[in-house]
């Protein structure tokens, strides 16, 4: 714990942590020392973790990287972090993210961007670690914690994992409780781990997952021991390569690593087949209607009355207006405007309702492809880490980062990103395995075989 705290302090220029909680951490580590000594160690006893600052932590400031949640100290602990504490984990501090998890580069954070510990060969350009879980991916990649919690609404676990050569799991919707996680888009949000390898990610997920009566969308289903699922190999598995994921203009290195991955699985006895998911092209437009719509509803609660920032005005409507204008950053404001627009009378049927119908078709298409194959293999992200500022002036360019990841959120199905190799500039690229709902075990088995 002390070594990780020191590393985190020494690497403060990466901006991965928004706050370290050394007193808490050392206190928890002492308890762990005692339990290890007296033989009562729990599954994660003494393991130092970083916590994305979207998870409410009791008595410890939680801001979701937004000015509007300034000084907010939750009076309760999120279920996922409680589960980790129950299992003996030690929390080092809270990790940076895009504001309210809206972003793919960690540049929308009120605390400034996180810096990817990876650099292009022979260059000093500061690169993005991906987002929104950029603090989590960086902290794990740079050894500033043993593993981290993260959340994935459209790719925020898998894309940052890909850009930092770490492993990230987005579980089935409902596998982990959303209770106590600051809400972005409730029908898409899922918590999951970012870790250094497939085994660590499996161990983390076992602890994080589980039914929770506080979250009506969490599923009442026993949690398997995911670590046990790793062995067994892929012999006899059928793995699909969706042809629509071969995008024009994608770096050839991604295609090469993708083929290499398929070959590796084939050599271990899997059958590789090409499959078609024709609705793939609608996933991104549907996501960027549904996610902002839900966000505009969820973020209505930040009105200057109940939480965080309040900009005073004698007129209450002016108080709301000023608080929200000052408290929310530009990307969040953009989402709230899009979301409010697509939900408004006269536009609801044309945008939101239609997007929901297409979403259902996408989910059905995913379910039907999994009648034929056990897993899908795709790239995690259409590019390697990009320079800070390179994509932040063009929102659509930024949204394209999520092209391979959003389908799993719309369908509620699980996905994992794992390191695939390096590109010509020495930057990591990721491969993604997708599985049917509650197919985490076969997905982990595939990932372990590929690792
Ligand atoms: N990049 C996507 C967005 O900006 C996904 C974010 C996420 O998964 N939290 O909405």
Mean pLDDT of 332-351: 96
Task: Report helix, strand or coil for 375.
Answer: strand
Looking at residue 299, the DSSP 8-state letter turns out to be: G
Residue 302: the pLDDT is 96
ipTM of the prediction: 0.97
Give the containing element (helix H, strand E) for 378.
Answer: strand 375-379
Residue 40: the pLDDT is 98
Ligand 1 contact, 155 CB (< 6 A): yes
With a cut of 90, say whether residue 67 has pLDDT above it: yes
Confidence label for 307 from pLDDT (cuts 50, 70 and 90):
confident
Compute, in angstroms, the gap from residue 88 CA to the centroid of ligand 1: 30
Tell me the CB-side half-sphere exposure of residue 110, using CA atoms within 13 A.
17
pTM of the predicted structure, to 2 decimals: 0.98
The topology (CATH level 3) of 1-451 is Amidase signature (AS) enzymes (3.90.1300)
Compute, in angstroms, the gap from residue 2 CA to the centroid of ligand 1: 33
Mean pLDDT of 113-121: 98
pLDDT digits (tens, 9 = 90+) for 200-250: 999 999 999 999 999 999 999 999 999 999 999 999 999 999 999 998 888
Mutate to test the pocket of ligand 1, among 105, 153, 338, 396 (most ligand atoms within 8 A of CB): 153
Residues 318 and 320: their CA atoms lie apart, in Å, by 5
List 82, 133, 156, 177, catalytic entry:
156
Residues 36 and 408: their CA atoms lie apart, in Å, by 39
Residues linked to residue 158 through DSSP beta bridges, in sequence order: none
Residue 366: the pLDDT is 98
360 is catalytic: no
52 is catalytic: yes
Compute, in angstroms, the gap from residue 153 CA to the centroid of ligand 1: 5
Per DSSP, the residues of 220-264 read --PPP-TTTTSTT-STT-EEEEEGGG--TT--HHHHHHHHHHHHH
Residue 250: the pLDDT is 87
pLDDT digits (tens, 9 = 90+) for 261-278: 999 999 999 999 999 999
Residue 248: the pLDDT is 86
Compute, in angstroms, the gap from residue 100 CA to the centroid of ligand 1: 9
Mean pLDDT of 311-328: 97
Domain boundaries, the chain: 1-451
Ramachandran category for residue 122: left, alpha or beta (phi over 0 → left; psi -120 to 50 → alpha): left
With a cut of 90, say whether residue 31 has pLDDT above it: yes
Residue 123: the pLDDT is 95
Neighbours of 224 (CB within 10 A): 16
Residue 329: the pLDDT is 98
Ligand 1: nearest atom to the Cα of 335: 10
Q: What residues contact residue 105 under an 8 Å CB cut-off, 6+ apart?
A: 98, 113, 128, 130, 131, 134, 386, 388, 391, 392, 398, 401
pLDDT digits (tens, 9 = 90+) for 388-424: 999 989 998 899 999 999 999 999 999 999 999 999 9
List 78, 104, 128, 132, catalytic entry:
132
Give the containing element (helix H, strand E) for 151.
Answer: strand 147-152
Considering the chain, what is the average pLDDT of its residues? 97
30 is catalytic: no
Residues 439 and 392: their CA atoms lie apart, in Å, by 35
Residue 410 to residues 69, 175, 229, 281, 356: CA-CA distances in angstroms?
A: 28, 15, 26, 13, 9
- Percentage of the chain modeled with pLDDT above 90: 97
Residue 205: the pLDDT is 98
């Amino acid at each position: 714990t002390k070594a990780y705290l020191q590393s985190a302090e020494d690497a403060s220029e990466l901006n991965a942590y928004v706050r370290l909680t050394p007193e808490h951490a050392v206190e928890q580590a002492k308890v762990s020392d005692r339990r290890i000594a007296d033989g009562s160690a729990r599954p994660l006893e003494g393991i130092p973790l970083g916590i994305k600052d979207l998870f409410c932590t009791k008595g410890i400031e939680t801001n979701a990287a937004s000015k509007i949640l300034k000084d907010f100290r939750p009076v309760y602990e999120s279920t996922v972090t409680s589960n980790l504490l129950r299992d003996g984990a030690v929390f080092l501090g809270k990790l940076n993210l895009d504001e309210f998890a809206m972003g793919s580069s960690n540049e929308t954070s009120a605390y400034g961007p996180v810096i990817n510990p990876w650099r292009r060969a022979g260059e000093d350009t500061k690169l993005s670690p991906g987002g929104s879980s950029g603090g989590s991916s960086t902290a794990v990649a740079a050894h500033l914690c043993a593993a981290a919690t993260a959340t994935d609404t459209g790719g925020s676990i898998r894309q940052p994992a890909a850009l930092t050569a770490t492993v990230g799991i987005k579980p089935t919707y409902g596998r982990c409780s959303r209770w106590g996680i600051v809400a972005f888009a409730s029908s898409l949000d899922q918590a999951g781990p970012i870790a250094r390898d497939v085994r660590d990610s499996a161990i983390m997920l076992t602890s994080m997952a589980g039914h929770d009566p506080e979250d009506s969308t969490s599923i009442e289903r026993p949690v398997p021991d995911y670590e046990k699922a790793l062995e067994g190999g892929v012999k006899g598995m059928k793995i699909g390569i969706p042809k629509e994921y071969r995008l024009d203009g994608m770096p050839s290195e991604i295609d090469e690593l993708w083929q290499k991955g398929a070959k590796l699985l084939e050599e271990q006895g899997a059958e590789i087949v090409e499959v078609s998911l024709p609705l793939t092209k609608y996933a991104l437009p549907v996501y960027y209607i549904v996610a902002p719509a839900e966000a505009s509803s969820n973020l209505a609660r930040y009105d200057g009355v109940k939480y965080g920032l309040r900009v005073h005005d004698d007129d209450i409507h002016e108080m709301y207006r000023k608080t929200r204008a000052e408290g929310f950053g530009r990307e969040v404001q953009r989402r709230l405007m899009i979301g409010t627009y697509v939900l408004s009378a006269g536009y609801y049927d044309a945008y939101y309702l239609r997007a929901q119908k297409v979403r259902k078709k996408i989910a059905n298409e995913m379910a039907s492809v999994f009648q034929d194959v056990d897993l899908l293999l795709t790239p995690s992200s259409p590019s390697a880490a990009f320079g800070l500022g390179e994509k932040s002036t063009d929102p659509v360019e930024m949204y394209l980062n999520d092209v391979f990841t959003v389908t799993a959120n719309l369908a509620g199905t699980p996905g994992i990103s794992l390191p695939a190799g390096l590109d010509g500039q020495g930057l990591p690229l990721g491969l993604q395995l997708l599985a049917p709902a509650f197919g985490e075990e076969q997905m982990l088995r595939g990932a372990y075989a590929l690792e």
